Structure 1
Amino acid sequence: MEQAKSYGSNKAQTGITITLALSMLLASLGTSIANIALPTLAEAFSTPFSQVQAVVVAYLAALTVSVVIAGRLGDAYGLRPMLVAGLAVFAAASLLCAIASSLPLLIAARALQGIGAGFLMTLAMALMRHTANEARVGRAMGLLGTVSALGTALGPSLGGLLIPVAGWRGIFWVQVPLAVMALILAIFMLPAAASKERAPSAGLWQVMNRQLVPNLLVNVMVAAVMMTTLVVGPFYLGIGLGLTATQVGFVMAVGPVISILSGIPSGRLVDAWGTDRMLAIGLVLLAAGAFLLALLPNGAGVYGYVLSIIVLTPGYQLFQAANNTAALADISRERRGTVSGLLSLSRNIGLIAGASAMGAVFAFGVGTEEFARATAPAIASGTRLTFLLAGAMMLVALGLAFAHQNSSRRSS
């Protein structure tokens, strides 16, 4: 009711939604767009690939470190001014990346861009919860999930188009006007009330109560499983099934496309059926998809792999919309920034765990870390072991979610 009074105009709400969606798009686009330029950067700076990777790692590390800080600053000084500051940092850093004259300067600028992205990712979520109509919170979270998937999917494609035309600098130049546009929109479209409600920021231990911790733990596990598909998938498709690089890229695009299409419908289902039910269904689909990835492709080949992804990916979007809505449901306004930061942090920790720990499980299953020399059966064996473990993790996550729901019902 309060939010309807403040942000009831459809035109105003549309402007707010576009601003926050563009902010989330920029953060996710920055995550994926530089990856495709790594070979070009290695050639441009005459540097080994291992050193050029820091262009990607610096962004991800800075983003991971800054998300909770961004949330706490948003709670202390206002969500709107901190998002505006984040957009200004992101725009300036994108410009510095585009004009960088050496690899160390580019890495430093990418770290600064990652800090800005941390503010965008965290505060866009907090502001979306802050301004959304209570009956449409799930839909708002689903929209952010869709936009995040769109940015991640768009990055490599956009980079692939820009690099032949404008060189590696083009992937950063294109982000400058987008960030400036988002900055202008944030200044004029976001409600002033979001900058006036300032309160002393709550301590992390005050926020990390028993209601929130299960949401964060399950978020870590789900993100780890989703990253596993991105790490293991290319090796299984390329070596295990013998697909060409073009075919691998086409098959790997199925997941992001489904994410884009299923994000908003997932949010609508959360609004209609409630967070508990949709979170459970999302986790069941994730577990089923992971077990299918372990077993189905070995017999059905690429069709089995695609079918497994078709089951897994909507489960992820349902989970994201339900989990984010549930985590922010009963959080007071002065703590929403911090909780949004913790959600982003748990997701990033899960992505890192998926790339490292689950990658190590895959290597153990293959029997070597030199995947290029591994046989197709060895790759298939590693894939099976990794996704059996991923499916087991989703069953544990489902158990945690049910225990949390039962505990919440008893306490209420």
Structure 2
Amino acid sequence: MDGAVSDRQAGGNSTAGAPPPADPARQHSNPWPIVAITCIGAAMGQFDASVVQLALPDLAVVFQTRETLASWVALAYVLAFAAALPIFGRLCEMFGRKRLYLAGILIFVAASALCGMATSLPELIAFRILQGIGGASLGANSIVILNHAAGKERRARAMGYFSAAQAVGVSLGPIAGGLLLSAFGWQAIFWVTVPIGLIGAVAGWLILPNDTERDPRPFDWQGALLLGPSIVSLVLVLNHLADWGLASLPALGFGIGGIVLLALFIVREKRTASPLIDLGIFASKPFSLGVLAVLLAFALLYGMFYLMSYAAIRGLDEPPERAGLRLSAIPIALGIAAPFAGALVKRFGTATLALFGMALAAIALLTLSLVALEATPSRMIGMAALAVFGAGLGFFMAPNNSATMGAAPPAFAGEAGALINLARMLGVSLGVASSASMLHWRTEVIAGATNTDVYFYGHPMLGAVETSFGLLFILALIAAIATWWRRRLEPQT
């Protein structure tokens, strides 16, 4: 680990009055019920995210509005989650992780029910914001609770189960969502998470340990007022970059505004004795590289979802149900591979497994870009490549998440868990935004070269998707370099 230490580690005035941090190496005799509860929250949040994307066209019709406005049903959740996550990461240290985790589940459940009862688009968007706040409370706690319960020896295996639960949630979204939408209407996609959340809340109340450590330092409201709008502005730019264009007034306004607010936040955090996020955590280079790798892994996953949706529906002329089944090969393979990766960490090490996983993902991307989408005989190769891609991410995510948490000093466990989940959310936005921009550029290039309308079904769209895989390959290469660098800093992992 990097030799630099922060005031918190050195006992400086930034943590005056703070209690000794909980030892993340401490483990329960049987941590798996606790891990299972965190997995319920992880699966529920991922299911909700993927199933709502599928329902956006129906919502535009139901509420008689443009699809760009209906997309705010998805975007409102992302913005609320990302903005509230660092805040809950600090509040959990002040009021207890079990309490805030259970509150997050109950807020999520209540908001889901309200979404199912919404009678207008503004109501639905408002309830989705509330749902994002509940999801942020879950996200700020889940990894830290899991880490404390499993301890160092079983952390990688527990992270494997956690990644598998997220993959299960993502994969169930397109499959179950299509059935729910056709059988019961759009309200059902929100109601279905209510009983699952209630079960998770009851189980959490009975099983999660009571944490007694409290951080008495005051809450940094000034930092929160700077960081929240900064994150919202930057996520807005990422999500609308393909529509606005990089040089457009909204993109420049929100982008510059977000960067300025982030700079002011950094200045504030360096000066205050009670920071919202102690920036000393980034003195650990292995942790910083791990967070970057988390962001890139989720950018790869959701960039692939975006590109393959266009390839399946506009390029291969498949119905949405079949396209959903095709895409489910990725999270299903991820969910199968992640627990295996967690179990193999002791034998091969986190960095070795992560590099192996990213190599699989890169090979799958090259296969998809070269042969897998061209002709009917090669579509089975395409399905196999999607499964290999998902398995590669499974072998990458679980070891990388475990190593990243392990690289964070014990005093920074709260910040580490929140930052990993924030990187995940920013990675989702980066993956979709960069893939959308790349696909838009490639369709224009192919249209100009062939004089073909690329918005008709057929191979011009497939060509644009195939060349866009090059962007994802570059992201995979950067993630591999970050992992290799971390391996050099921490050869024992």
TM-score, normalised on structure 2? 0.76
CA distance in 1: counterparts of 2:24 and 2:335, whole angstroms? 28
- How many angstroms does 1:198 deviate by? 4.0
- How many angstroms does 1:372 deviate by? 6.1
- Per the alignment, residue 379 of structure 2 pairs with 302
- How many angstroms does 1:383 deviate by? 2.1
Q: After the TM superposition, which residues 163-174 of structure 1 pair with which residues of structure 2 at under 5 Å, given as runs?
A: 163-174=181-192
1:313 aligns with 2:390: yes
- Per the alignment, residue 468 of structure 2 pairs with 386
Residues 46 and 279 (structure 1), Cα distance of their counterparts in 2 relative to 1, 3 Å cut: same
Q: Is the 8 A contact 2:350 2:400 kept in 1?
A: yes
- How many angstroms does 1:107 deviate by? 0.5
- How many angstroms does 1:250 deviate by? 2.4
CA distance in 2: counterparts of 1:377 and 1:39, whole angstroms? 24
CA distance in 1: counterparts of 2:93 and 2:362, whole angstroms? 36
CA distance in 2: counterparts of 1:321 and 1:6, whole angstroms? 19
Partner residue of 2:435 out of 341, 354, 358: 358
CA distance in 1: counterparts of 2:136 and 2:311, whole angstroms? 32
CA distance in 2: counterparts of 1:273 and 1:235, whole angstroms? 38
Residues 140 and 61 (structure 1), Cα distance of their counterparts in 2 relative to 1, 3 Å cut: same
Q: Is the 8 A contact 1:29 1:154 kept in 2?
A: yes
- Per the alignment, residue 178 of structure 1 pairs with 196
Larger Rg: 2
- Per the alignment, residue 402 of structure 1 pairs with 484
1:335 aligns with 2:417: no
- Per the alignment, residue 256 of structure 1 pairs with 331
Gaps of at least 5 residues in structure 1 are none
- How many angstroms does 1:405 deviate by? 2.1
CA distance in 1: counterparts of 2:321 and 2:387, whole angstroms? 20
Q: After the TM superposition, which residues 11-26 of structure 1 pair with which residues of structure 2 at under 5 Å, given as runs?
A: 13-26=31-44
- Per the alignment, residue 307 of structure 2 pairs with 232
CA distance in 2: counterparts of 1:195 and 1:356, whole angstroms? 42
CA distance in 1: counterparts of 2:184 and 2:466, whole angstroms? 42
Q: After the TM superposition, which residues 13-92 of structure 1 pair with which residues of structure 2 at under 5 Å, given as runs?
A: 13-92=31-110
- Per the alignment, residue 160 of structure 2 pairs with 142
Q: Is the 8 A contact 2:85 2:140 kept in 1?
A: yes
1:222 aligns with 2:239: no
Q: After the TM superposition, which residues 86-235 of structure 1 pair with which residues of structure 2 at under 5 Å, given as runs?
A: 86-192=104-210, 194-196=211-213, 198=215, 200=217, 203-209=277-283, 210-235=285-310
- How many angstroms does 1:3 deviate by? 7.7
CA deviation string 1:226-284 (max 9, x = no partner): 21211111222334344444432322121122122222112112243221211211221
CA distance in 2: counterparts of 1:260 and 1:6, whole angstroms? 25
CA deviation string 1:26-49 (max 9, x = no partner): 211221222333333233322232
User: Percent identity, aligned pairs only?
Assistant: 25
- How many angstroms does 1:342 deviate by? 1.0
- How many angstroms does 1:191 deviate by? 0.6
- How many angstroms does 1:80 deviate by? 1.5
CA distance in 2: counterparts of 1:381 and 1:4, whole angstroms? 50
* Equivalent residue letter for 1:340: G
Bigger mean CA offset, 238-247 vs 136-145: 238-247
Residues 399 and 284 (structure 1), Cα distance of their counterparts in 2 relative to 1, 3 Å cut: same
CA RMSD of aligned residues (A): 2.6
1:293 aligns with 2:311: no
- How many angstroms does 1:56 deviate by? 1.1
Q: Is the 8 A contact 1:70 1:337 kept in 2?
A: no
CA distance in 2: counterparts of 1:375 and 1:4, whole angstroms? 55
Bigger mean CA offset, 198-207 vs 145-154: 198-207
SS in 2 for 1:7: coil
CA deviation string 1:129-162 (max 9, x = no partner): 1100432211100111111111112123333333
Q: Is the 8 A contact 2:303 2:434 kept in 1?
A: no
CA distance in 1: counterparts of 2:187 and 2:321, whole angstroms? 25
- Per the alignment, residue 227 of structure 2 pairs with none
- How many angstroms does 1:326 deviate by? 0.6
CA distance in 1: counterparts of 2:344 and 2:99, whole angstroms? 32
* Equivalent residue letter for 1:171: I
Q: Is the 8 A contact 2:97 2:141 kept in 1?
A: yes
CA distance in 2: counterparts of 1:293 and 1:167, whole angstroms? 35
CA distance in 1: counterparts of 2:58 and 2:317, whole angstroms? 26
Residues 163 and 349 (structure 1), Cα distance of their counterparts in 2 relative to 1, 3 Å cut: same
CA distance in 2: counterparts of 1:400 and 1:406, whole angstroms? 10
Residues 279 and 354 (structure 1), Cα distance of their counterparts in 2 relative to 1, 3 Å cut: same
Gaps of at least 5 residues in structure 2 are 1-22, 218-273, 448-452
- Per the alignment, residue 284 of structure 1 pairs with 359
- How many angstroms does 1:6 deviate by? 6.1
* Equivalent residue letter for 1:75: E
Residues 88 and 153 (structure 1), Cα distance of their counterparts in 2 relative to 1, 3 Å cut: same
Q: Is the 8 A contact 1:266 1:321 kept in 2?
A: yes
Q: Is the 8 A contact 2:454 2:461 kept in 1?
A: no
Q: Is the 8 A contact 1:79 1:195 kept in 2?
A: no
SS in 1 for 2:408: coil
Residues 406 and 39 (structure 1), Cα distance of their counterparts in 2 relative to 1, 3 Å cut: closer
- How many angstroms does 1:348 deviate by? 1.6
- How many angstroms does 1:104 deviate by? 0.7
